[in-house]
């Protein structure tokens, strides 16, 4: 079941085409990674989803029906460029932002107080924002993003500016939101967090989606029959052991073992790699190499369709 879909979204700016027939499908209760190099069009797409700007063409569906202006109340957005009014007190400001999302005064106060306690910043309620550390400001921003318990949460580079401890806190909180039923769109350059959090991704490059789907499926597609074999006690030259069609991509060793990473031709199986080693050495391990998101990203972007034509 898809909570949100964007269908064939196109957006032109004065100088360039920001989005070209972009479609994404965000399954309910998933963490959806929106990836792409700088300037690919991610922020434009996110702003369109938040109805901050309007697409030139295309359809946006939330829960299977057309996205409406009132839907901003079911979306929580933490922008990449984010801040707070410096001269306002933390409490006033949080109340203001919560009420702009449609919460009543009482409801906003009740929810904010409990979240402020949870995030251990309740003591700062009456302080001015400019007195807060950056990490604390980020906590306030995160709280007001989720305060109205939106069905769809959009985080644009949420981890930038967080120290590792707070980044971890944030990560756990994102997972907790998913647990509670929220669907999350996560736009980031941080591939480690994609690896950890996302179950679906879409990769945008030069205004187009060049890769999308469940992470596991994408990884399966990007596997290229590569294995790392660990062994010891090889009696002959390595090149006589491995068939010529096999390609060695990496080797390493520790005091007791040798490791060799080998890419096999398409028709070969790991057994074809294992057999010659079994005859000449003692095999300790054999492991399939699953491509990292980082590698997939680089590969997709560098070999992807470079169809970028600047508009005049």
Partner 1 sequence: MKKILLIIRREYLTRVKKRSFIVMTILGPILMAAAVVIPVYLATRANEVKTVSILDETGLFTAHFKDSDNFRFHELVSDIQSAKKGLVKSGDYALIYIPATQVTLPSNAIIYAQNTVNINLQSYVKNVMSRQVEELKLQAKLHDIQSGKGQPVDVSEILKSIQTTIDINTLKIGEDGTESKSYTEINMALGMFAGILIYLFIFMFGSQVMRGVIEEKTSRIVEVIVSSVRPFQLMMGKIIGVGLVGLTQFMLWVVLTFVIVTGVTATITPHQIKDKVTGEVLKTNTPISPVNSESLTLAQGTSGDGTNEVLQAINSVDFPVMIGSFLFFFLAGYLLYSALFAAIGGAVDNEADTQQFIAPITIPLILAIILAQFIIQDPDGSLSFWFSIIPLTSPVVMMIRIPFGVPWVQVILSMVLLILGFLATTWIAAKIYRTGILMYGKKVNYKELWKWLRQG
Footprint on this chain of partner 1 (rule: CB under 8 A): 13-14, 47, 50-53, 69, 72, 75, 77-79, 81-88, 96-97, 99-101, 141, 144
Residue 88 or 238: the one with the smaller Cβ distance to partner 1 is 88
Q: Whole-number minimum distance, CB 97 to partner 1, in Å?
A: 7
Residues paired with 286 in a beta bridge: 229
Residue 82 or 257: the one with the smaller Cβ distance to partner 1 is 82
Tokens of 121: 């910043």
As a whole number of Å, the end-to-end CA separation of the chain is 40
Q: Whole-number minimum distance, CB 82 to partner 1, in Å?
A: 5
* Nearest alpha-carbon partner for 266 in 246, 251, 249, 286: 246
Measured distance CA(181)–CA(191) in Å, rounded: 24
Sheet-wide strand order for 282-288:
247-253, 258-263, 226-232, 282-288
The answer to whether the beta carbons of residues 296 and 278 sit under 8 Å apart is no
Q: Whole-number minimum distance, CB 190 to partner 1, in Å?
A: 20
Q: Whole-number minimum distance, CB 193 to partner 1, in Å?
A: 21
Residue 83 or 244: the one with the smaller Cβ distance to partner 1 is 83
Residue 52 or 278: the one with the smaller Cβ distance to partner 1 is 52
Q: Whole-number minimum distance, CB 12 to partner 1, in Å?
A: 9
Residue 85 or 308: the one with the smaller Cβ distance to partner 1 is 85
The answer to whether the beta carbons of residues 193 and 186 sit under 8 Å apart is yes
Q: Whole-number minimum distance, CB 61 to partner 1, in Å?
A: 19
Residue 95 or 174: the one with the smaller Cβ distance to partner 1 is 95
CA 89 to chain CA centroid, nearest Å: 33
Measured distance CA(188)–CA(197) in Å, rounded: 11
Residue 96 or 259: the one with the smaller Cβ distance to partner 1 is 96
Measured distance CA(102)–CA(52) in Å, rounded: 17
Q: Whole-number minimum distance, CB 16 to partner 1, in Å?
A: 12
Question: What is the torsion angle, in degrees rounded to the nearest 10, for the CA atoms of residue 277, residue 278, residue 281 and residue 284?
Answer: 90
Number of H helices, E strands in the chain: 10, 14
């Amino acid at each position: 079941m898809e909570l949100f879909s964007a269908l064939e979204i196109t957006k032109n700016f004065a100088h360039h085409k920001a989005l070209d027939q972009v479609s994404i499908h965000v399954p309910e209760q998933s963490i959806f990674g929106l990836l792409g190099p700088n300037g690919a069009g991610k922020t434009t797409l996110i702003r369109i989803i938040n109805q901050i700007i309007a697409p030139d063409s295309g359809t946006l569906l939330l829960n299977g029906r057309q996205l409406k202006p009132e839907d901003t109340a079911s979306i929580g957005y933490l922008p990449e460029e984010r801040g707070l009014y410096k001269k306002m007190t933390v409490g006033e400001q949080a109340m203001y932002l919560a009420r702009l999302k449609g919460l009543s005064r009482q409801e906003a106060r009740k929810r904010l107080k409990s979240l402020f306690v949870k995030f251990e910043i309740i003591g700062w309620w009456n302080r001015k924002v400019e007195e807060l550390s950056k990490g604390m400001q980020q906590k306030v921003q995160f709280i007001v993003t989720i305060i109205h318990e939106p069905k769809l949460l959009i985080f644009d580079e949420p981890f930038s500016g967080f120290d590792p401890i707070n980044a971890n806190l944030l990560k756990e909180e994102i997972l907790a939101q998913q647990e509670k039923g929220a669907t999350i769109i996560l736009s980031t350059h941080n591939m480690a967090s994609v690896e950890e959090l996302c179950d679906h991704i879409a990769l945008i490059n030069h205004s187009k989606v060049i890769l999308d789907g469940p992470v596991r499926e994408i990884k399966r597609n990007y596997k290229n029959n590569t294995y790392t074999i660990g062994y010891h006690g090889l009696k002959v030259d390595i090149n006589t052991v491995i068939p010529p069609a096999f390609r060695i991509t990496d080797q390493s060793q520790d005091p007791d073992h040798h490791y060799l990473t080998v890419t096999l031709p398409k028709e070969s199986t790991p057994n074809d790699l294992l057999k010659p080693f079994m005859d000449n050495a003692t095999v300790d391990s054999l492991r399939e190499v699953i491509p990292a998101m980082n590698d997939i990203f680089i590969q997709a972007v560098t070999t992807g369709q470079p169809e970028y034509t600047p508009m005049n």
